[in-house]
Structure 1
Amino acid sequence: MRFAVFASGNGSNFEAIVRAVENKEISATLVCLFSDKKNAYVIERAKKKKIPYMVIEKEKQETKESYEKKIIEYLEEKSIDFIILAGYMKILGHVLLEKYPKKIINLHPSLLPSFPGKQGIHDAFYSKEKETGITIHLVDQGIDTGPIIFQHAISITRHETLSSLETRIHELEHRYYPIVIEKYIREVVLNDKKKSLN
């Protein structure tokens, strides 16, 4: 099994995934990184780990369909079986979703359906909710609306700061995302691949 990670930013979850692959905690091959941002720090992490990467930035007049077709061309060259989103900030369109049905996973820093979107940790902290957490889900055309695979909750303590909550959420992400990726590979992706070969 071969997969790509999509990321737009710092890349700490990308690095946690790389570490899990190196430690054989994820049984698939991490083939490449894809980023939509040429200055994303995640690219430096990929370089240090000698992982191939591709950057394709969407041109202003370009349609989402034509942009995603370029991405698929790259993924097909690499024989990618499934995609892991790790801080990828673009909403995926139907072209990618139809090419990889039920084979794109995302990590979100809140207990969905609460606090979707870019500021999940911030929004949960200022909501005065007593708990938050992480959600790992399949991707559909909505914003953090796909079928939920896994959730883990933590309490927001009385003396919590936004910074301390961010740290705790990131620790959860790094701990659980590789575990859930491996479980999903074994239970879903491999079964689908076997069916397609029969």
Structure 2
Amino acid sequence: MNLGVLVSGRGSNLQAIIDAIEAGKLNDSISMVISDKEGVRAVDRCLKHGIPYRVIKRKDFRSKEEFEKALVEALKEAEVDLVVLAGFMRILSATFLGHFPMKVINIHPSLIPAFQGMHAQRQALDYGVKITGCTVHFVTEELDNGPVIAQACVPVFPEDTEESLSERILHHEHRILPQVIRWISEGRVRVEGRRVVVEGARYGTLPFNPELEDF
């Protein structure tokens, strides 16, 4: 598949995808990265690895609809098959999603439907849960609430800060996001209502977490 990756910041999940491709674990390619901000580390990663990128800023457009149409145009020009939101800090509407039905996935640092939206790690700490984690899901118009493809669980320790919990969750984000991309690329993912079925996926070798094959 040709991947389009949308970013807003440091791009660590973008780097996880790049690493998986360069290691031969993904047979896909990144045909376009779009950042809605200038000067972010994600753009530096594109320059380092020779990946096409564009900076498309919301403030340069009169409306959200025009902004999203520009995103769509850039992704279509790059012949993108799957759109990956990797730390993209904007909510996409039907204007965008209608062009990529069930072809947009997101990585979120909680076990959705728990702790949706911003600062999910802080929400988990404030609520006092003992287990949180991360989720890869299909993107719908409802914030952080599309069908779940994969999740990984992370324990919450009494001494955790938002930073320490975020880093521990991020380790698992870097594992499950490339795995999900490979599942989709191999045609193993189907959606039945809210339920996502992954053919041949193996589970149970790690506490609470899927066995992530080669990742």
Taking structure 2 as the reference length, the TM-score comes to: 0.83
Partner of 2:27: 27
Query: What per-residue deviation string (whole Å, max 9, x for no partner) do you get for residues 17-60 of structure 1?
Result: 10011112122111121011112221111111111110111136
Unmatched runs of 5 consecutive residues or more in structure 2: 190-215
Once the two structures are aligned, what percentage of the paired residues are identical? 38
Does 2:94 align with 1:82?
no
Query: What per-residue deviation string (whole Å, max 9, x for no partner) do you get for residues 54-76 of structure 1?
Result: 01111366222211111121112
Partner of 2:113: 113
| Matching of residues 178-193 of structure 1 within 5 Å | 178-187=178-187
| Matching of residues 59-98 of structure 1 within 5 Å | 59=59, 62-98=62-98
| Matching of residues 103-182 of structure 1 within 5 Å | 103-182=103-182
Structure holding more helix per residue: 1
Query: What SS does the aligned partner of 1:59 have?
Result: helix
CA distance in 1, matches of 2:74, 2:157: 45
Query: What per-residue deviation string (whole Å, max 9, x for no partner) do you get for residues 108-157 of structure 1?
Result: 00011110112111111221111100011000111101111111112112
Partner of 1:6: 6
CA distance in 2, matches of 1:6, 1:148: 19
The AA in structure 2 aligned to 1:82 is L
Query: What SS does the aligned partner of 2:128 have?
Result: coil
Partner of 1:194: none
Runs of 4 or more consecutive aligned structure 1 residues displaced over 3 Å after TM superposition: none
Does 2:42 align with 1:42?
yes
CA distance in 2, matches of 1:54, 1:108: 23
Query: What SS does the aligned partner of 1:187 have?
Result: coil
Q: How many residues were matched structurally?
A: 190
CA distance in 2, matches of 1:144, 1:180: 17
The AA in structure 2 aligned to 1:15 is Q
- RMSD value, Cα: 1.7
- Distance change >3 Å, CA 125–CA 56, structure 1 → 2: same
Quote the offset at 1:179 in angstroms: 0.9
Quote the offset at 1:175 in angstroms: 1.6
Query: What SS does the aligned partner of 1:39 have?
Result: coil
CA distance in 1, matches of 2:74, 2:154: 39
